[in-house]
Amino acid sequence: MEGKTSGLAPTGWAIEVQGLTKSFEGRLALNGVDLKVRRGEVLSVFGPNGAGKTTLIKVLATLLKPTAGQVRVAGLDLRESSMEIRRRIGVITHQTFLYDELTAFENLKFYGKMYDVPNLKERIYEVMAKVGLASRIHHQVRTLSRGMQQRLAIARAVLHSPSIMLLDEPETGLDEYAHAMLVEMLSASNGGERTVVMTTHSLERGFEIGDRVAILVEGKIAYEESKLCLDAVTLRERYYRYTGASRRGDS
């Protein structure tokens, strides 16, 4: 299912997934996922609980090994070059991956060193300003509110200027400020050729941000379409059709 982009020839897939399967102890979380994401594209993935959204993000983030199937991220094979892939991806999940006792600055300094970020000190101030936390830079993480922690997590994820962002339900735990900022960052990413794969519960938000949408049901992609061929109403209708959810159920 080809999506229609702005007429530029694709310069290479940012993410290619073929027949991705992941099973845990008899439970099949992903059952033959096929997916292709272009460079600079924003893909929103919807699906009910248990569909495999988090698992998909974790596999792309090199946190889980596939049971079967081929995965290429940034042109690199997942099984062979996971280290190199990690340099190029930024991950935001429910976990903040932040150390409570350390200050925001120290957290970013730690990750910055792990990622070999050049000019670390300037870069830290730069991203902290972007996420609106410049005034809290030397405060311990545990003194920050949940919303601020999520913003710091965003700062952590973009610190090393990754070309691919993987977000697992980022709307949870974000306050309004953080969310608006995230939306702005993600939309701005298209100009900067940043690829985004985002799983979300919110049809509105996902549709608003994404260039393409996909619906994941029971470990498989049930539906995939470019935003240009859809409107919000049709998307919702498709979603209910494929997930068989009642009107009152999932968002």
Q: Which residues make up the interface to another protein (CB under 8 A)?
A: 23-26, 61-65, 83-84, 86-87, 91, 95, 97-102, 106, 110-111, 113-116, 140
Please enumerate in sequence order all residues whose Cβ is within 8 A of that of 190, keeping only pairs 6 or more positions apart, or say none.
Answer: 40, 41, 42, 211
Residue 99 or 242 with smaller CB distance to another protein? 99
Q: Minimum CB separation from another protein for residue 39, in Å?
A: 20
Q: Minimum CB separation from another protein for residue 75, in Å?
A: 16
Q: Minimum CB separation from another protein for residue 93, in Å?
A: 9
Backbone angles phi, psi at 19, to 5 degrees: 60, 35
Residue 114 or 134 with smaller CB distance to another protein? 114
Please enumerate in sequence order all residues whose Cβ is within 8 A of that of 90, keeping only pairs 6 or more positions apart, or say none.
Answer: 157, 158, 159, 160, 162, 164, 165, 166
Nearest to 21 by CA among 54, 45, 52: 52
Contact 168, 200 (CB under 8 A): no
Q: Minimum CB separation from another protein for residue 7, in Å?
A: 35
Residue 102 or 183 with smaller CB distance to another protein? 102
**What is the crossing angle of helices 146-158 and 120-130, to 10°?**
130
Residue 85 or 131 with smaller CB distance to another protein? 85
Q: Minimum CB separation from another protein for residue 107, in Å?
A: 9
Residue 83 or 233 with smaller CB distance to another protein? 83
The neighbour count for residue 61, using CB atoms within 10 Å, is: 21
The neighbour count for residue 177, using CB atoms within 10 Å, is: 13
